[in-house]
């Protein structure tokens, strides 16, 4: 903060320090109207903080999604407010159970599949089911590997094996002669 001759002058040092402070990125306070716009979008449109931040950036107003989350958390925990209700997950963190792996009997590793089933020829299918919450409902997906063609069908009775087999037969019947 000294002059070019090495002499220290307090007023020049203060100006240089203020200039550096202004140029530094950092945790700056946001303008109240930008904060109000972010809260308004959260309440009215039920947008996520990421969406609000992106939308306001397009309008020329800078506010990070983390700042919006901080506003919501402060409102919830310090002010006992209700902004968190407008978030999709209400600031809840989902904890998955650890260590409860299901062992499938007679399971064959994907690395042990035949070399001919490399997905380069038509007829190599991969099948899976998507099961709903509390095992309510299921969707069958079949993907043909060489073309990435997707067959998908909702199973009316969940994971019922007979219905699943019949659905697979129905979906793949038109391709019987090609495989």
Q: How confident is the model at residue 179, as a pLDDT? A: 63
Cβ atoms 106, 80 nearer than 8 A: no
Q: Is 128 helix (H, G, I), strand (E, B) or coil?
A: strand
Does 60 map to a domain?
A: yes
Query: Whole domain around residue 161: which residue ranges?
Result: 119-175
Question: Structure pTM?
Answer: 0.42
Q: What is the pLDDT of residues 108-161, one digit of tens each?
A: 787 887 777 777 788 888 899 998 877 788 999 999 888 889 999 999 888 888
Q: Do residues 129 and 72 share a domain?
A: no
Does 55 map to a domain?
A: yes
Which pair of tokens denotes residue 42?
């959260």
Give dist(CA 26, CA 68) in Å, integer.
Answer: 16
The rounded percent of the chain whose pLDDT value lies above 70 is 93
The answer, yes or no, to whether residue 54 has pLDDT greater than 90, is: yes
Q: Do residues 127 and 79 share a domain?
A: no
Q: What is the pLDDT of residues 73-103, one digit of tens each?
A: 999 888 888 898 888 887 776 666 666 677 7
What value does the mean pLDDT of the chain take?
A: 85
Q: Which of 86, 109, 133 is the last residue of a domain?
A: 86
Does 65 map to a domain?
A: yes
From the list 40, 70, 68, 73, the residue with the least C-alpha distance to 53 is: 68
Q: Do residues 123 and 81 share a domain?
A: no
Does 154 map to a domain?
A: yes
Give dist(CA 47, CA 40) in Å, integer.
Answer: 10
Give dist(CA 154, CA 113) in Å, integer.
Answer: 28
Average pLDDT (21-25) is 76
Does 161 map to a domain?
A: yes
Average pLDDT (32-58) is 93
């Amino acid at each position: 903060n000294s002059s070019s001759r090495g002499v220290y002058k307090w007023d020049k040092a203060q100006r240089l320090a203020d200039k550096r402070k202004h140029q530094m990125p950092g945790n700056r306070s946001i303008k109240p109207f930008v904060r109000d716009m972010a809260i308004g979008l959260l309440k009215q449109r039920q947008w996520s903080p990421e969406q609000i931040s992106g939308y306001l950036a397009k309008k020329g107003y800078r506010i990070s999604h983390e700042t919006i989350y901080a506003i919501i958390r402060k409102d919830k925990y310090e002010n006992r407010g209700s902004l968190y209700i407008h978030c999709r997950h209400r600031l809840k963190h989902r904890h998955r159970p650890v260590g409860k792996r299901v062992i499938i009997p007679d399971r064959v590793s994907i690395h042990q599949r035949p070399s001919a089933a490399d997905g380069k020829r038509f007829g190599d299918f991969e099948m899976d089911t998507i099961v709903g919450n509390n095992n309510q409902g299921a969707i069958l997906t079949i993907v043909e590997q060489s073309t990435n063609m997707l067959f998908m069908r909702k199973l009316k009775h969940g994971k019922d094996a007979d219905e699943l087999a019949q659905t697979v037969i129905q979906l793949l019947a038109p391709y019987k002669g090609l495989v």
